[in-house]
Structure 1
């Protein structure tokens, strides 16, 4: 590992001033960044530890929104009673990701900023446009059975590894941040830009920004669920995952939200499927037809086409389960 300087920030402005220096990165739980530093993928000159900043904890705003501090751990998020009651899919998604030890260290902001788990990204000898822009994408002709089928480009077919982000996409979370010039916010749907020709640009955050919180809009009704298919029973990234929130009235879909993981470079909000379902009969056949419509835009590679049928079946199964829960 390359030698680096380390300093613990004592205030938000202190952290922002420090990270403005070239070669500097924020450090929170370090569960992704430190791994990449060991591999030589990330090579910062300095790390600014933000864990001591007053950015932890979960509170309810006056309008009923739930505000999750940026350095709140994944374990604290999953266990919070209001998240379990009002946003159960988020709690389930967090518990489906990583091990208990990692959840105790990993933070909400760090989870959003974690980088892809594509093997070619982590291999310095392989071409990867995320790691070295313009070098190519080795996955296109290589091992890609667990890569993306939606929203890809000729520059990158890697997937986003976050379970939490899929649930945050489902609930229309808002990411708030601070820079030296002021505060800002990004709806989660705008936080992850399309991969296009610049897969190395993984978020829409301004340079030097520090995430300060994630807000979940007020929610009381409906039922939600997160279901993840993976290659082993625990501590594995999603092959395909589905987060869904459904309200059924008189056997018809009154409200519906669907988000997919493991299929794109960012959590994928299934807007086409939602539009197909809204107001229609809440039946397995309709759920399947909506999933088919959503996945019509998929562009699978030779070895990951199975993800299309897997995602279709998983959407149908999760929504059907939610109707039974009603």
Structure 2
């Protein structure tokens, strides 16, 4: 019987907290109507949540006649989550409250040849600075998620990296959690970017999504049924491992003609040499993307990363080559968030942990 009562309390707390998060601010009467719980039960739950610091009672407006209704609000600032994109050339950290609203960003450059200890220290410093500049106590960070290239297993360890020096074997989740003494998580960068698009971007209404991360390197991630699909070892989507695909040296098609941004601009302005370089790059990109499209048959294909800013200069030849290679071509769109998508995906994954393991949602 005691176990049943404990379970009932947890369920009542979960239902009430979920309702209050959706409403933002609500009266006892409103919450009772939404949850189907008695006023006394809702009041007891809210008082307990207020003691934990997750809910606050909002004072009545001045001048209100009679006994005012008790109003409560969810405290999104009770805790925070941090997403950190550890890339080849940059570290980007995003701090968000419990509603997933970003309150602080911090970006620092890093050399693509930096050894692992140097890159990790840069990531740590960026994470700490992101929290400190927001004026948030470090103890209020409840979870950290780092995104990186390579294969990241379910424990958050980098099991294989061919891009970042000394990165294979790094316990990224453990190290990230150690920065704040909280839960640490880690995932592949393209997977986190895909998660961001499904959360708040161009893939919100798509269940099966292929995301192609396009920049100095090319990678891919996927969602199946609205959930990240990393596979047995975390290597799902690593189609670039097949050398026949040509992703390993795809960016070289642009680099030989100067900076990629300048090449895309020149191609858009009608420069024949630049247009040919973009055409070759788009063709290589389409070969790997087609393999994923044929395997998954997704609702949507999202092109993200730094090169996605080229827009139709890249997407037009990419779509054409994709059409030649696929039985059926999904809608192809660019990322909503560009190079912020990996850090935001880290925020979402960290928030998933907090909601499940701390808030009990």
Greater helix proportion:
2
| Max Rg structure | 2
For the superposition of Structure 1 and Structure 2, which TM-score range results when normalised by the shorter chain? under 0.3
